[in-house]
Amino acid sequence: MSKESRKFHVPDALANLYDFANTLDLRHFTHRGVQHQQADALQDPAALGEWMRQHGLIERAAPSQKTFEAALRLRAAIRDYLKCEPTERHRKPAVTAPLNAAMEPFALRVATIGKDGFALRPVMSDAQAGLSAIVAELYDAASAGMLGRLKMCAADECQRVFFDRSKPGTRRWCQTTLCGNREKTRTYRERHRHDPTSES
Ligand SMILES: [Zn+2]
């Protein structure tokens, strides 16, 4: 759980998944005259270790270069998956095959967890095991019918992953008042630019 996931009321059950997908910040729109700077919180294995510590996914061990590369592959595959329309995701082998391959290094087992029943736990106990929690959240979110609400903002200049809390679950933008309006204004302008009857 992070400040961001709390701010946007992302359910705790998928807060790590949400934060992990958003460690890559591709936003480059201009808001109130200031251009948003793109950033990647996972620059190197040390940065990955720091991010995992902040999320309680690791204690002391530092991720190896191999784990770091596996993490980046996992993040890219998850982002590509979430970018698809929820109803289309399972129909896209170009998206599901790389995701399956990217999840493979993060083996999970089923374990009892007291009165709450069962949970998925990492098979390994090394630094890589910490990231298995992200894969477990994917599985749990899908089982709970919540994964379809985790989406990528449709604005090209945003591409932030967001949790759709709207009743019908059909939101396309992380913030309709910002990304949605920006896109609508642009579409309007473009349409009028190409319209020969337009005065401008
Ligand atoms: Zn957005």
pLDDT tens sequence across 18-65 = 999 999 999 998 888 888 899 999 999 999 999 999 999 988 778 999
Ligand 1 centroid vs 161 CA: distance in angstroms?
8
Ligand 1 centroid vs 179 CA: distance in angstroms?
5
Over residues 180-188, the mean pLDDT reads: 78
Quickly list H helices, 31-124: 45-54, 65-83, 93-103
Ligand 1 centroid vs 61 CA: distance in angstroms?
35
pLDDT tens digits along 111-168: 999 887 999 999 988 888 999 999 999 999 999 999 999 999 999 999 999 999 999 9
Ligand 1 centroid vs 27 CA: distance in angstroms?
8
Of 73, 64, 177, 85, the closest CA to residue 128 belongs to 64
Please, are residues 146 and 14 in contact by the beta-carbon 8 Å criterion?
Answer: yes
With 80 as the cut, is the pLDDT of residue 14 above it? yes
Verdict on whether the full-model pTM lies above 0.75: yes
CA dihedral 135→140→141→142, nearest 10 degrees, is 90
Ligand 1 centroid vs 82 CA: distance in angstroms?
14
With 60 as the cut, is the pLDDT of residue 197 above it? no
With 60 as the cut, is the pLDDT of residue 196 above it? no
With 50 as the cut, is the pLDDT of residue 200 above it? no
Ligand 1 centroid vs 94 CA: distance in angstroms?
24
With 60 as the cut, is the pLDDT of residue 198 above it? no
Residue 109: the pLDDT is 96
Ligand 1 centroid vs 155 CA: distance in angstroms?
6
CATH class of 3-193: mainly alpha
Over residues 93-116, the mean pLDDT reads: 95
With 90 as the cut, is the pLDDT of residue 181 above it? no
Ligand 1 centroid vs 69 CA: distance in angstroms?
27
Report which secondary-structure segment, H or E, holds 40. Answer: strand 39-40
Ligand 1 centroid vs 142 CA: distance in angstroms?
23
Ligand 1 centroid vs 138 CA: distance in angstroms?
22
Ligand 1 centroid vs 169 CA: distance in angstroms?
16
Of 111, 113, 115, 140, the closest CA to residue 125 belongs to 111
Please, are residues 153 and 22 in contact by the beta-carbon 8 Å criterion?
Answer: no
Residue 128: the pLDDT is 87
